[in-house]
Amino acid sequence: MPGLAIFAPALKLPAYVCRNCGFWQRHFMTPPVCPLCLDAHHVLPLQGWNFYTLKEAQTAYPMHWEELPNGVLHFWNEPVEGIGSHSYLLSTSTGNVCFEGAAVYSDEALAEITRRGGVQFLSASHPHSYGALWQLQDFFEPELILHPADFSWSAALQVTWPFDEQIEITHGITLLRTGVHFPGHTVLYDAARSLLCCGDAMKFTLDPQNLRLAHSVSTHKAFVRGVPLTPAEAQRYLDVFSALEFTSTFTPFEQVTNFGTAETIRLFRRLAQSRPHPNFVSLTNL
């Protein structure tokens, strides 16, 4: 739009990442504070604010990737500071979908994504896992699909496709707003892969001998603060997830293949009918 042209340079200001939480901001100088650390979901840095530029983050946070058995390309940084969310590239016949943002993408990772067809659709569950979505948007120019309830957190991005309660973004892949953790908290459902990317609706502890198997599961309003859900919030998750058929569940950190619809229903039904808590529950006790 011609009238907006004068503002275009501000959308490409340098990006800085908070070393305490991993939230990226565009700024004309090193930011004075990080808004995500100030939010009640997270905690303040004990030693004060500290930020990296893109090149500094790429050096400090090496990127790794692997192809999972269901054909999903999994990206993560290790070692990493902050929240350190993982990222998932799902290929379809009508374009590639990237869900969740890793802390930062290396040049080699961007080349690998390019080799696999780039990114046509980009989204994330909530601000804790936006990661370096801005980097993918600048590089691949995909549709960026976020729920408008979390619009205030997207200043480093340019939302091109807001949605209401749910949207099928490409063949067989649907985004659904759950709310609860954040007002716009969103999950991705891939019917063909029988996969739910659940954002921060759930968190798992893993079998050290097989990192695709969950030992226990928890759910929370704010994980680092140990804040539980209300019964109505547990019911909201139950309403959304019980309508989906899935056998694998990916969080922004774990990828488990032994937790699906049946286990999810048992978890949230229990929490909706009693006082919810943020404690881990063994899968054998669900």
Note whether residue 6 is domain-resident: no
Give the global pTM. Answer: 0.96
Per DSSP, the three-state class of 277 is coil
Q: Mean pLDDT over all residues of the chain?
A: 96
Note whether residue 7 is domain-resident: no
**Residues, the chain, total?**
286
* Whether 102 contacts 87, CB under 8 Å: yes
Note whether residue 169 is domain-resident: yes
pLDDT, tens digit (0-9, with 9 covering 90-100), for 215-270: 999 999 999 899 999 999 999 999 999 999 999 999 999 999 999 999 999 999 99
One-letter amino acid for residue 148 of the chain: P
- Bridge partners (DSSP) of residue 249 are 196, 256
User: What range does the domain containing 74 cover?
Assistant: 14-285
- Specify the CATH number for the domain of residue 123: 3.60.15.10
Tally of structural domains, the chain: 1
pLDDT band at residue 3 under the 50/70/90 scheme = low
Note whether residue 196 is domain-resident: yes
pLDDT, tens digit (0-9, with 9 covering 90-100), for 76-116: 999 999 999 999 999 999 999 999 999 999 999 999 999 99
| DSSP helix, strand, coil percent of the chain (3-state; round to 5) | 30, 25, 45
What pLDDT is stored for residue 29 in this prediction? 96
